[in-house]
Structure 1
């Protein structure tokens, strides 16, 4: 029994599907070049699930062109209402490396899936980089060690006084004698008293004399 030749509509749909696949292959090449070598980019031809892999860039998974569709691809073939974009889901390469994957389904004119564009990011390097950055930025507290690399100016000194007073729910001029003494010692330890005209700035902001500043800072 001879097979019925495809109708004109079927031939047209076939041409449109091939055109779509060519466009997707071009996009995949651009993505692969952009995100090399950390991201594998794969084009699946869902019209031929047994030989679905049409192109693969930055091959991280060890798969080859012509291999069959994945479970996600088969799910799209079976259900046109399957989500078109499944983004950032956990995945694993054959050798156990962790991956982050995104799968984008491509529909033809009739609303059925004809292709999928998949991105698989190898997280191994990024996890190592995260660990290195964490070690590099870790700060170890040394008892009694205090230093500021920001040169204190009049505004910085006033801001420091305001912050000290605010922590005690008061204003700089309303600070108690003991608190003012603590503040002035902190300013001295921070090197603020070595700033030009610092004593005048502090005295004016606290509403005390320069002599009080010098005496309390001893």
Structure 2
């Protein structure tokens, strides 16, 4: 077996790490995203690994046009994100390709991700159908009266202090409760429960903040 040069060893280590990255991305976004590692130093057998094989290609398949373009031009863009693409059977895809260079600035590999948009289109159609409601003209709310308005007031109070409602300190909660009491919100049915839930505290904590 021919001994590898230090440069070849470095490239082999880089490709090995890319395969691990591809595996992690593939497992995270399965089954929607195909992740491919290309060895651009061997363009006739460029595909080194495929996670979530959506394109039907095989290990050892040749480089794509994009891979060849990078091989021929070191100045070719290193990152091409979210460009329109298609699988061989016509399915729409969204692709991102990241070129990997060695220490000399030469393209040696590429990490490519291809998202099957047809799967998301099917999901979108199912969700749209599920969210449809009938044409019967009935007005009903499953929320306590004025609860949305109460939450909106809390959100505005918190935003004026550049905080989330759950991040308000005890003194700020006292100020908020004083405002709500003055505005008459505390007279609303289940107001205390709604406030406590939106602030992420218990009813007992609210009662400790201020005596109603």
Shared fold (TM-score, shorter chain, > 0.5): yes
Equivalent residue runs for 1:105-120 within 5 Å = 105-120=99-114
Does structure 2 conserve the Cα–Cα contact (< 8 Å) formed by 1:13 and 1:109? no
**Against the structure 1 CA distance between its residues 71 and 155, is the aligned structure 2 distance closer, same or farther, given a 3 Å change threshold?**
closer
**Against the structure 1 CA distance between its residues 146 and 68, is the aligned structure 2 distance closer, same or farther, given a 3 Å change threshold?**
same
For 1:155 and 1:36, the matched residues in 2 are separated by 37
For 2:86 and 2:24, the matched residues in 1 are separated by 24
Tell me how far 1:141 sits from its aligned partner. 5.0
Structure 1: which 5+ runs fail to align? Answer: 1-9, 157-194, 197-218
Question: Which of 139, 143, 147 is residue 140 of structure 2 equivalent to?
Answer: 147
Report what 1:19 is aligned to: 13
Report what 1:58 is aligned to: 52
Does structure 2 conserve the Cα–Cα contact (< 8 Å) formed by 1:21 and 1:115? yes
**Against the structure 1 CA distance between its residues 36 and 150, is the aligned structure 2 distance closer, same or farther, given a 3 Å change threshold?**
closer
Question: How many residues are paired up?
Answer: 150
Q: Does 1:39 align with 2:33?
A: yes
**Against the structure 1 CA distance between its residues 123 and 154, is the aligned structure 2 distance closer, same or farther, given a 3 Å change threshold?**
closer
Structure 2: which 5+ runs fail to align? Answer: 150-187, 190-212
**Against the structure 1 CA distance between its residues 151 and 34, is the aligned structure 2 distance closer, same or farther, given a 3 Å change threshold?**
closer
Report what 1:174 is aligned to: none
For 1:81 and 1:59, the matched residues in 2 are separated by 30
Q: What is the root-mean-square deviation of aligned Cα atoms in Å?
A: 2.7
**Against the structure 1 CA distance between its residues 66 and 154, is the aligned structure 2 distance closer, same or farther, given a 3 Å change threshold?**
closer
The one-character-per-residue Cα deviations of 1:174-200 (angstroms, maximum 9, x if unpaired) are xxxxxxxxxxxxxxxxxxxxx99xxxx
For 2:135 and 2:107, the matched residues in 1 are separated by 58
Task: Give TM-score scaled by structure 1 length.
Answer: 0.62
For 1:78 and 1:139, the matched residues in 2 are separated by 56
For 1:68 and 1:154, the matched residues in 2 are separated by 61
Equivalent residue runs for 1:178-193 within 5 Å = none
SS state of the match for residue 120, structure 1? strand
For 1:84 and 1:119, the matched residues in 2 are separated by 14
Report what 1:72 is aligned to: 66
Does structure 2 conserve the Cα–Cα contact (< 8 Å) formed by 1:42 and 1:119? yes
